[in-house]
Amino acid sequence: MSNASTIEFSTAQGPAGSLTATFTGVLDADGAGRVWTRAVEAVRAGSGEVSLDVGGLSEIDGVGLGLLVALKAIQAEKGATLAIHGLPSALQTVIDRYDAAKLAELQKPRQQDRAGFVVRAGRFGWEVMRAAKGVISFVGECCIALVYAVLHPWSIRFKDLARQCELVGANGLGIIVLIGFLMGLILAFQTAITLIRFGAQAFVPNMLGLAMVREMGPLVTAILLAGRSGSAFAAEIGTMKVNDEINALVTMGLAPMRFLVTPKILAAMIMTPLLTLFFDLFSFVGGAVVMLSLDYPLESYAHRLFNNVSMTDFIGGLIKALVFSLLVAGVGCLQGLNTRNGAGAVGESTTAAVVGGIVLIAVADGLFAVIYYALGI
Protein backbone atom coordinates (compact mmCIF):
# COMPACT_ATOMS: atom_id res chain seq x y z
CA MET A 1 0.00 0.00 0.00
CA SER A 2 1.43 3.39 -1.04
CA ASN A 3 1.88 6.12 1.51
CA ALA A 4 0.25 9.41 0.36
CA SER A 5 2.80 11.50 2.25
CA THR A 6 5.67 10.46 -0.08
CA ILE A 7 4.66 12.88 -2.86
CA GLU A 8 6.80 15.97 -3.29
CA PHE A 9 6.43 18.87 -5.72
CA SER A 10 9.05 21.54 -6.36
CA THR A 11 9.52 24.30 -8.94
CA ALA A 12 12.42 26.31 -10.27
CA GLN A 13 12.25 29.44 -12.43
CA GLY A 14 14.18 29.44 -15.68
CA PRO A 15 15.06 32.10 -18.24
CA ALA A 16 12.33 34.03 -20.13
CA GLY A 17 9.66 33.09 -17.63
CA SER A 18 10.07 29.36 -18.16
CA LEU A 19 9.32 26.96 -15.31
CA THR A 20 10.76 23.60 -14.33
CA ALA A 21 8.60 21.45 -12.04
CA THR A 22 9.58 18.18 -10.43
CA PHE A 23 7.38 15.39 -9.05
CA THR A 24 8.91 12.75 -6.79
CA GLY A 25 7.28 9.94 -4.82
CA VAL A 26 3.86 8.46 -5.50
CA LEU A 27 1.42 10.39 -7.68
CA ASP A 28 -1.71 8.40 -6.96
CA ALA A 29 -5.18 9.67 -5.99
CA ASP A 30 -4.05 10.84 -2.54
CA GLY A 31 -0.79 12.29 -3.77
CA ALA A 32 -2.38 14.12 -6.69
CA GLY A 33 -4.99 15.56 -4.35
CA ARG A 34 -2.27 16.93 -2.09
CA VAL A 35 -0.31 18.72 -4.81
CA TRP A 36 -3.05 19.46 -7.35
CA THR A 37 -3.76 23.04 -6.26
CA ARG A 38 -0.05 23.98 -5.92
CA ALA A 39 0.80 22.48 -9.30
CA VAL A 40 -2.05 24.24 -11.08
CA GLU A 41 -1.26 27.60 -9.45
CA ALA A 42 2.43 27.27 -10.28
CA VAL A 43 1.77 26.49 -13.94
CA ARG A 44 -0.79 29.28 -14.23
CA ALA A 45 1.68 31.76 -12.74
CA GLY A 46 4.33 30.94 -15.33
CA SER A 47 4.51 33.01 -18.49
CA GLY A 48 6.66 30.74 -20.64
CA GLU A 49 7.34 27.09 -21.34
CA VAL A 50 6.89 24.52 -18.57
CA SER A 51 9.01 21.41 -18.20
CA LEU A 52 7.76 18.60 -15.96
CA ASP A 53 10.26 16.08 -14.62
CA VAL A 54 8.39 12.97 -13.46
CA GLY A 55 11.39 10.61 -13.52
CA GLY A 56 11.43 10.54 -9.73
CA LEU A 57 7.93 9.06 -9.48
CA SER A 58 7.81 5.50 -8.23
CA GLU A 59 4.09 5.12 -8.96
CA ILE A 60 1.40 6.95 -10.93
CA ASP A 61 -2.27 6.11 -11.47
CA GLY A 62 -5.15 7.52 -13.49
CA VAL A 63 -5.65 10.48 -11.20
CA GLY A 64 -1.98 11.39 -11.53
CA LEU A 65 -2.27 11.21 -15.30
CA GLY A 66 -5.34 13.43 -15.01
CA LEU A 67 -3.24 16.05 -13.22
CA LEU A 68 -0.66 15.99 -16.03
CA VAL A 69 -3.42 16.36 -18.63
CA ALA A 70 -4.91 19.29 -16.69
CA LEU A 71 -1.53 21.05 -16.59
CA LYS A 72 -1.19 20.42 -20.32
CA ALA A 73 -4.56 22.05 -20.93
CA ILE A 74 -3.59 25.10 -18.84
CA GLN A 75 -0.50 25.62 -20.98
CA ALA A 76 -2.53 25.23 -24.18
CA GLU A 77 -4.95 27.88 -22.93
CA LYS A 78 -2.01 30.29 -22.59
CA GLY A 79 -0.66 29.33 -26.01
CA ALA A 80 2.43 27.65 -24.54
CA THR A 81 3.62 24.06 -24.46
CA LEU A 82 4.23 21.56 -21.70
CA ALA A 83 7.16 19.12 -21.92
CA ILE A 84 7.01 15.98 -19.80
CA HIS A 85 10.27 14.12 -19.10
CA GLY A 86 10.79 10.76 -17.49
CA LEU A 87 7.33 9.32 -18.23
CA PRO A 88 7.21 5.74 -19.55
CA SER A 89 6.44 5.55 -23.26
CA ALA A 90 3.13 3.73 -22.70
CA LEU A 91 1.87 6.47 -20.37
CA GLN A 92 3.26 9.17 -22.64
CA THR A 93 1.14 7.70 -25.43
CA VAL A 94 -1.95 8.04 -23.23
CA ILE A 95 -1.14 11.69 -22.49
CA ASP A 96 -0.58 12.44 -26.17
CA ARG A 97 -4.02 11.16 -27.07
CA TYR A 98 -5.62 14.15 -25.35
CA ASP A 99 -5.96 17.26 -27.50
CA ALA A 100 -4.80 20.06 -25.21
CA ALA A 101 -6.52 22.73 -27.34
CA LYS A 102 -9.89 21.01 -27.06
CA LEU A 103 -9.46 20.50 -23.33
CA ALA A 104 -8.67 24.19 -22.92
CA GLU A 105 -11.74 25.09 -24.98
CA LEU A 106 -13.95 22.93 -22.77
CA GLN A 107 -12.66 24.70 -19.67
CA LYS A 108 -13.68 28.12 -20.98
CA PRO A 109 -17.08 29.38 -19.84
CA ARG A 110 -19.70 29.15 -22.54
CA GLN A 111 -20.78 32.47 -23.96
CA GLN A 112 -24.45 33.25 -24.28
CA ASP A 113 -25.85 32.69 -27.75
CA ARG A 114 -26.67 36.11 -29.17
CA ALA A 115 -27.80 34.94 -32.59
CA GLY A 116 -30.18 37.22 -34.43
CA PHE A 117 -33.74 36.55 -35.48
CA VAL A 118 -32.79 35.29 -38.93
CA VAL A 119 -30.24 32.82 -37.52
CA ARG A 120 -32.68 31.57 -34.89
CA ALA A 121 -35.43 31.22 -37.49
CA GLY A 122 -33.04 29.25 -39.70
CA ARG A 123 -32.11 26.95 -36.83
CA PHE A 124 -35.77 26.40 -36.02
CA GLY A 125 -36.55 25.60 -39.64
CA TRP A 126 -33.64 23.18 -39.79
CA GLU A 127 -34.82 21.40 -36.65
CA VAL A 128 -38.35 21.17 -38.09
CA MET A 129 -36.96 19.65 -41.28
CA ARG A 130 -34.90 17.13 -39.31
CA ALA A 131 -37.94 16.20 -37.22
CA ALA A 132 -40.10 15.83 -40.34
CA LYS A 133 -37.46 13.64 -41.96
CA GLY A 134 -37.35 11.43 -38.87
CA VAL A 135 -41.15 11.12 -38.80
CA ILE A 136 -41.34 10.26 -42.52
CA SER A 137 -38.57 7.69 -42.15
CA PHE A 138 -40.29 6.14 -39.12
CA VAL A 139 -43.66 5.98 -40.90
CA GLY A 140 -42.03 4.25 -43.87
CA GLU A 141 -40.23 1.69 -41.71
CA CYS A 142 -43.38 1.13 -39.67
CA CYS A 143 -45.51 0.50 -42.78
CA ILE A 144 -42.92 -1.93 -44.14
CA ALA A 145 -42.80 -3.78 -40.82
CA LEU A 146 -46.62 -4.01 -40.60
CA VAL A 147 -46.93 -5.25 -44.19
CA TYR A 148 -44.19 -7.80 -43.54
CA ALA A 149 -46.01 -8.95 -40.40
CA VAL A 150 -49.26 -9.38 -42.33
CA LEU A 151 -47.60 -11.28 -45.17
CA HIS A 152 -45.46 -13.37 -42.79
CA PRO A 153 -47.60 -14.04 -39.70
CA TRP A 154 -45.07 -16.55 -38.34
CA SER A 155 -42.57 -13.70 -37.94
CA ILE A 156 -44.76 -12.11 -35.26
CA ARG A 157 -43.64 -12.78 -31.69
CA PHE A 158 -47.06 -13.82 -30.40
CA LYS A 159 -45.99 -13.94 -26.77
CA ASP A 160 -44.99 -10.29 -26.92
CA LEU A 161 -48.15 -9.48 -28.86
CA ALA A 162 -50.33 -11.19 -26.23
CA ARG A 163 -48.50 -9.34 -23.44
CA GLN A 164 -48.96 -6.01 -25.17
CA CYS A 165 -52.64 -6.77 -25.77
CA GLU A 166 -53.01 -7.43 -22.06
CA LEU A 167 -51.26 -4.18 -21.15
CA VAL A 168 -53.19 -2.09 -23.68
CA GLY A 169 -56.59 -3.79 -23.45
CA ALA A 170 -57.24 -5.83 -20.32
CA ASN A 171 -55.36 -3.54 -17.94
CA GLY A 172 -57.03 -0.46 -19.39
CA LEU A 173 -60.57 -1.86 -19.42
CA GLY A 174 -61.40 -0.62 -15.93
CA ILE A 175 -60.71 3.05 -16.64
CA ILE A 176 -62.47 2.78 -20.03
CA VAL A 177 -65.60 1.36 -18.43
CA LEU A 178 -65.60 3.97 -15.66
CA ILE A 179 -65.06 6.95 -17.94
CA GLY A 180 -67.59 5.62 -20.46
CA PHE A 181 -70.26 5.20 -17.80
CA LEU A 182 -69.62 8.66 -16.35
CA MET A 183 -69.55 10.33 -19.79
CA GLY A 184 -72.86 8.76 -20.74
CA LEU A 185 -74.36 9.65 -17.36
CA ILE A 186 -73.21 13.28 -17.48
CA LEU A 187 -74.05 13.87 -21.14
CA ALA A 188 -77.53 12.34 -20.82
CA PHE A 189 -78.23 14.28 -17.61
CA GLN A 190 -77.11 17.64 -19.01
CA THR A 191 -79.08 17.09 -22.22
CA ALA A 192 -82.20 15.87 -20.43
CA ILE A 193 -82.22 18.88 -18.09
CA THR A 194 -82.36 21.17 -21.14
CA LEU A 195 -84.80 19.16 -23.28
CA ILE A 196 -87.21 18.36 -20.48
CA ARG A 197 -88.29 22.03 -20.43
CA PHE A 198 -89.69 21.54 -23.91
CA GLY A 199 -91.01 18.02 -23.33
CA ALA A 200 -88.38 16.65 -25.73
CA GLN A 201 -86.53 14.30 -23.38
CA ALA A 202 -87.41 11.46 -25.74
CA PHE A 203 -84.64 12.69 -28.05
CA VAL A 204 -81.92 12.15 -25.44
CA PRO A 205 -81.25 8.54 -26.59
CA ASN A 206 -80.95 9.73 -30.21
CA MET A 207 -78.36 12.34 -29.30
CA LEU A 208 -76.48 10.05 -26.92
CA GLY A 209 -76.22 7.22 -29.43
CA LEU A 210 -74.85 9.34 -32.26
CA ALA A 211 -72.50 11.36 -30.03
CA MET A 212 -70.95 8.30 -28.42
CA VAL A 213 -70.70 6.02 -31.44
CA ARG A 214 -69.52 8.61 -33.97
CA GLU A 215 -67.41 10.95 -31.86
CA MET A 216 -66.97 10.59 -28.12
CA GLY A 217 -66.32 6.85 -28.03
CA PRO A 218 -63.27 6.68 -30.33
CA LEU A 219 -62.01 10.12 -29.29
CA VAL A 220 -62.02 9.62 -25.52
CA THR A 221 -60.73 6.05 -25.83
CA ALA A 222 -57.81 7.26 -27.95
CA ILE A 223 -56.99 10.05 -25.48
CA LEU A 224 -56.97 7.54 -22.62
CA LEU A 225 -54.80 5.27 -24.77
CA ALA A 226 -52.33 8.13 -25.28
CA GLY A 227 -52.16 8.76 -21.54
CA ARG A 228 -51.74 5.09 -20.61
CA SER A 229 -50.19 3.12 -23.43
CA GLY A 230 -48.54 5.84 -25.50
CA SER A 231 -46.57 7.06 -22.51
CA ALA A 232 -45.75 3.47 -21.49
CA PHE A 233 -44.41 2.70 -24.97
CA ALA A 234 -42.22 5.80 -24.94
CA ALA A 235 -40.94 5.10 -21.42
CA GLU A 236 -40.15 1.43 -22.11
CA ILE A 237 -38.33 2.00 -25.40
CA GLY A 238 -36.71 5.20 -24.09
CA THR A 239 -35.27 3.37 -21.10
CA MET A 240 -33.87 0.71 -23.42
CA LYS A 241 -32.35 3.47 -25.58
CA VAL A 242 -30.66 5.13 -22.58
CA ASN A 243 -29.30 1.76 -21.40
CA ASP A 244 -27.93 1.00 -24.90
CA GLU A 245 -30.21 -2.03 -25.19
CA ILE A 246 -31.39 -0.84 -28.62
CA ASN A 247 -27.80 -0.85 -29.83
CA ALA A 248 -27.40 -4.33 -28.39
CA LEU A 249 -30.39 -5.54 -30.42
CA VAL A 250 -28.90 -4.07 -33.59
CA THR A 251 -25.56 -5.72 -32.79
CA MET A 252 -27.28 -9.08 -32.46
CA GLY A 253 -28.93 -8.58 -35.85
CA LEU A 254 -32.44 -7.89 -34.49
CA ALA A 255 -34.37 -5.00 -36.07
CA PRO A 256 -35.84 -2.78 -33.32
CA MET A 257 -38.78 -1.93 -35.58
CA ARG A 258 -39.91 -5.55 -35.89
CA PHE A 259 -38.74 -6.65 -32.46
CA LEU A 260 -40.15 -3.78 -30.36
CA VAL A 261 -42.43 -1.50 -32.37
CA THR A 262 -44.52 -3.93 -34.43
CA PRO A 263 -46.01 -5.89 -31.46
CA LYS A 264 -46.97 -2.64 -29.72
CA ILE A 265 -48.66 -1.12 -32.77
CA LEU A 266 -50.48 -4.35 -33.62
CA ALA A 267 -51.70 -4.69 -30.03
CA ALA A 268 -52.98 -1.10 -30.03
CA MET A 269 -54.76 -1.59 -33.35
CA ILE A 270 -56.39 -4.81 -32.14
CA MET A 271 -57.47 -3.65 -28.70
CA THR A 272 -58.52 -0.02 -29.26
CA PRO A 273 -61.65 -0.82 -31.33
CA LEU A 274 -62.65 -3.35 -28.67
CA LEU A 275 -62.12 -0.78 -25.92
CA THR A 276 -64.23 1.66 -27.94
CA LEU A 277 -67.07 -0.87 -27.98
CA PHE A 278 -66.92 -1.19 -24.19
CA PHE A 279 -66.83 2.60 -23.86
CA ASP A 280 -69.94 2.95 -26.04
CA LEU A 281 -71.77 0.16 -24.21
CA PHE A 282 -71.21 1.55 -20.73
CA SER A 283 -71.97 5.10 -21.86
CA PHE A 284 -75.37 3.76 -22.95
CA VAL A 285 -75.72 2.19 -19.51
CA GLY A 286 -74.98 5.56 -17.91
CA GLY A 287 -77.58 7.21 -20.13
CA ALA A 288 -80.10 4.51 -19.21
CA VAL A 289 -79.60 5.24 -15.51
CA VAL A 290 -80.47 8.91 -16.10
CA MET A 291 -83.51 8.15 -18.25
CA LEU A 292 -84.84 5.60 -15.76
CA SER A 293 -84.51 8.18 -13.00
CA LEU A 294 -86.69 10.46 -15.13
CA ASP A 295 -89.32 7.67 -15.41
CA TYR A 296 -88.56 7.06 -19.06
CA PRO A 297 -89.22 3.42 -20.05
CA LEU A 298 -86.14 1.30 -20.64
CA GLU A 299 -87.73 -0.34 -23.71
CA SER A 300 -88.35 3.02 -25.33
CA TYR A 301 -84.83 4.15 -24.48
CA ALA A 302 -83.25 1.07 -26.09
CA HIS A 303 -85.55 1.25 -29.10
CA ARG A 304 -84.78 4.89 -29.89
CA LEU A 305 -81.08 4.43 -29.14
CA PHE A 306 -80.37 1.50 -31.45
CA ASN A 307 -82.79 2.49 -34.20
CA ASN A 308 -81.13 5.90 -34.51
CA VAL A 309 -77.59 4.50 -34.81
CA SER A 310 -76.93 2.95 -38.21
CA MET A 311 -74.28 0.43 -39.13
CA THR A 312 -72.49 3.19 -41.05
CA ASP A 313 -72.16 5.24 -37.86
CA PHE A 314 -70.94 2.19 -35.99
CA ILE A 315 -68.29 1.25 -38.56
CA GLY A 316 -67.22 4.89 -38.97
CA GLY A 317 -66.51 5.11 -35.25
CA LEU A 318 -64.46 1.91 -35.30
CA ILE A 319 -62.42 3.17 -38.27
CA LYS A 320 -61.67 6.32 -36.29
CA ALA A 321 -60.57 4.24 -33.30
CA LEU A 322 -58.31 2.13 -35.54
CA VAL A 323 -56.58 5.16 -37.05
CA PHE A 324 -56.27 6.88 -33.66
CA SER A 325 -54.63 3.78 -32.20
CA LEU A 326 -52.08 3.70 -35.02
CA LEU A 327 -51.21 7.36 -34.42
CA VAL A 328 -50.93 7.05 -30.65
CA ALA A 329 -48.85 3.87 -30.68
CA GLY A 330 -46.67 5.19 -33.50
CA VAL A 331 -45.84 8.50 -31.86
CA GLY A 332 -45.17 6.74 -28.54
CA CYS A 333 -42.68 4.34 -30.13
CA LEU A 334 -41.11 7.14 -32.18
CA GLN A 335 -40.50 9.32 -29.13
CA GLY A 336 -39.03 6.31 -27.32
CA LEU A 337 -36.59 5.62 -30.16
CA ASN A 338 -35.62 9.32 -30.26
CA THR A 339 -34.83 9.46 -26.53
CA ARG A 340 -31.55 11.23 -25.81
CA ASN A 341 -29.11 10.57 -22.99
CA GLY A 342 -29.58 12.19 -19.62
CA ALA A 343 -31.47 11.86 -16.37
CA GLY A 344 -34.63 13.55 -17.65
CA ALA A 345 -34.57 12.18 -21.21
CA VAL A 346 -37.13 9.43 -20.59
CA GLY A 347 -39.50 11.87 -18.92
CA GLU A 348 -39.20 14.27 -21.83
CA SER A 349 -39.94 11.49 -24.31
CA THR A 350 -42.96 10.37 -22.31
CA THR A 351 -44.35 13.90 -22.18
CA ALA A 352 -43.74 14.40 -25.89
CA ALA A 353 -45.49 11.10 -26.65
CA VAL A 354 -48.65 12.06 -24.75
CA VAL A 355 -48.80 15.61 -26.10
CA GLY A 356 -47.98 14.54 -29.65
CA GLY A 357 -50.53 11.73 -29.53
CA ILE A 358 -53.34 14.02 -28.37
CA VAL A 359 -52.48 16.65 -31.00
CA LEU A 360 -52.49 14.01 -33.76
CA ILE A 361 -55.82 12.68 -32.50
CA ALA A 362 -57.37 16.14 -32.69
CA VAL A 363 -56.00 16.76 -36.19
CA ALA A 364 -57.11 13.35 -37.44
CA ASP A 365 -60.57 13.81 -35.92
CA GLY A 366 -60.97 17.08 -37.81
CA LEU A 367 -59.92 15.39 -41.05
CA PHE A 368 -62.42 12.59 -40.42
CA ALA A 369 -65.17 15.17 -39.91
CA VAL A 370 -64.41 16.73 -43.29
CA ILE A 371 -64.12 13.35 -45.05
CA TYR A 372 -67.35 11.99 -43.55
CA TYR A 373 -69.19 15.18 -44.49
CA ALA A 374 -67.90 14.97 -48.05
CA LEU A 375 -68.98 11.31 -48.26
CA GLY A 376 -72.37 12.10 -46.78
CA ILE A 377 -71.84 9.80 -43.81
Nearest to 354 by CA among 375, 334, 374, 376: 334
Segment 2-32, tens digit of pLDDT: 444 577 888 877 776 678 888 888 888 888 8
Between β-strands 19-27 and 50-60, what pairing exists: parallel, antiparallel or unpaired? parallel
Cα-to-chain-centroid distance, residue 25: 51
> Which pLDDT score is estimated for 324?
93
- CA 40 to CA 82: how far, in whole Å? 13
> Which pLDDT score is estimated for 8?
81
| Angle at alpha carbon of residue 240, lines to 234 and 245, rounded to 5° | 150
Amino acid letter, residue 41: E
DSSP H stretches of helix in 85-172: 89-96, 100-107, 117-151, 158-165
The pLDDT of 227-231, averaged and rounded, is 90
The pLDDT of 213-239, averaged and rounded, is 91
Maximum pairwise Cα distance, the chain: 108
Q: Residues of the chain with pLDDT > 70: what percent?
A: 93
Phi (first) and psi of residue 228, to 5 degrees? -90, -65
The pLDDT of 36-41, averaged and rounded, is 84
